[in-house]
């Protein structure tokens, strides 16, 4: 599971034009800039008409047209824009063309500090406006500080919504079912709790929890079978990719393949009965962020593979996937991949990614 990945270097001129490529197993890859001038971009959502939305952590949502022109979207909820908190994920509803609804995750000010929240709103592209904003979930309050909010939202095949919630820097709470910290939660599209959630009948447990024992999952995606996968930050080492199962405990902070930043041991070791093992882990840490499972036509050789952005080593890691098993693939790296925050598959099968360091959105194609 622990692997170092082969690098595939993509070289560019100072103007951003393609200057040179290095052949990979798929041949030459091209990177094109789609948007620039972004301040801490966090997530991108591609609209059916080819326009796209980008969130900035400080609380701005931008609409970009096909020519790179941008308009600020109004109606965004007020966010707690401190530390790692702010406006985070944006995802279109599966029925967006009919409902015009999209989902946002964000850090929200609370009486005890701040916590991760999920909202749904209708989007009017012509007016660049959100309306009918409704909060669907807010984590149980009580945490101060600006660390570990998560946060990705994924709509499952049945319409329910999975949201990753970080442990907010309070490690023991990831094992406490009376708190949302360090969990994947599942709510209905209406905001209610599905009866099939694993802890609805457990005394003292919060019914929204689907899985727990996570540290800070900043990537999440469904595979072609509808299975949820997440990628989460370890401490000093031990970043994990997990295949998320209903009611499962992923061990943080009792077990980990990393260590504290001080060099001290975390918990009880790397394994314990009743706690899940990661499908893959990195040591040293790559500081993983956005995650995508490829299903497009442009790169059929990569179908089913997992792509993860690295905030630390400035690349996109590709993991080969065979069922539930993952193995190292390669690193896609260039000057444009500085602190990759989000990765999405476009309708044409190209791969889009957000670079924090470059302040831009980029497209990888043949």
β-strand partners of 71: 63
Distance of alpha carbon 251 from the chain centroid: 20
**CB atoms near residue 219 (< 10 Å):** 26
Size of the chain in residues: 366
Closest Cα to residue 163, out of 117, 96, 225, 112? 117
Catalytic (active site) residue 148 = yes
Catalytic residue among 148, 180, 233, 315: 148
Report how far residue 124's alpha carbon sits from residue 268's, in angstroms, rounded to the nearest whole number.
51
**CB atoms near residue 191 (< 10 Å):** 15
End-to-end CA distance of the chain: 29
Tokens, residue 277: 């093992």
Report how far residue 80's alpha carbon sits from residue 340's, in angstroms, rounded to the nearest whole number.
22
β-strand partners of 11: 20
The catalytic residue positions are: 148
């Amino acid at each position: 599971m622990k692997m170092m990945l082969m690098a595939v270097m993509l070289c560019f001129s100072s103007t951003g034009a393609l200057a040179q490529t290095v052949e990979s197993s798929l041949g030459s890859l091209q990177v094109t800039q789609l948007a620039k001038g972004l301040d801490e971009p966090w997530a991108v959502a591609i609209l059916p008409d080819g326009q796209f939305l980008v969130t900035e952590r400080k609380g701005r949502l931008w609409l970009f047209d096909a020519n790179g022109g941008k308009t600020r979207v109004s109606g965004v909820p007020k966010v707690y824009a401190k530390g790692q908190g702010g406006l985070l994920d944006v995802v279109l509803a599966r029925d967006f063309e009919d409902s015009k609804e999209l989902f946002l995750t964000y850090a929200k000010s609370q009486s005890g500090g701040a916590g991760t929240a999920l909202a749904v709103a209708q989007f009017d592209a012509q007016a660049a406006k959100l309306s009918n904003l409704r909060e669907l979930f807010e984590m149980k309050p009580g945490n101060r500080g600006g660390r570990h909010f998560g946060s990705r939202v994924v709509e499952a095949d049945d319409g329910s919504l999975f949201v990753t919630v970080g442990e907010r820097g309070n490690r023991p709470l990831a094992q406490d079912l009376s708190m949302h910290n360090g969990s994947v939660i599942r709510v209905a599209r209406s905001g209610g709790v599905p009866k099939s959630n694993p802890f609805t009948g457990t005394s003292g447990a919060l019914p929204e929890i689907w899985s727990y024992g996570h540290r800070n999952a900043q990537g999440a995606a469904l595979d072609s079978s509808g299975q949820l996968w997440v990628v989460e930050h370890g401490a000093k080492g031990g970043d994990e990719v997990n295949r998320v199962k209903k009611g499962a405990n992923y061990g943080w902070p009792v077990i980990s393949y990393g260590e504290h930043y001080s060099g001290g041991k975390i918990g009880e070791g790397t394994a314990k009965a009743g706690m899940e093992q990661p499908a893959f882990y990195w040591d040293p840490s790559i500081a993983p962020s956005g995650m995508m499972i490829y299903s497009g036509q442009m790169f059929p050789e990569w179908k089913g593979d997992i792509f993860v952005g690295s905030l630390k080593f400035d690349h996109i890691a590709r993991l080969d996937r065979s069922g539930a098993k993952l193995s190292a693939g390669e690193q896609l790296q260039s000057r444009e991949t500085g602190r990759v925050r989000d990765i999405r598959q476009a309708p044409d099968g190209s791969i889009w990614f957000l670079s924090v360091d470059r302040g831009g959105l980029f497209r990888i194609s043949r």
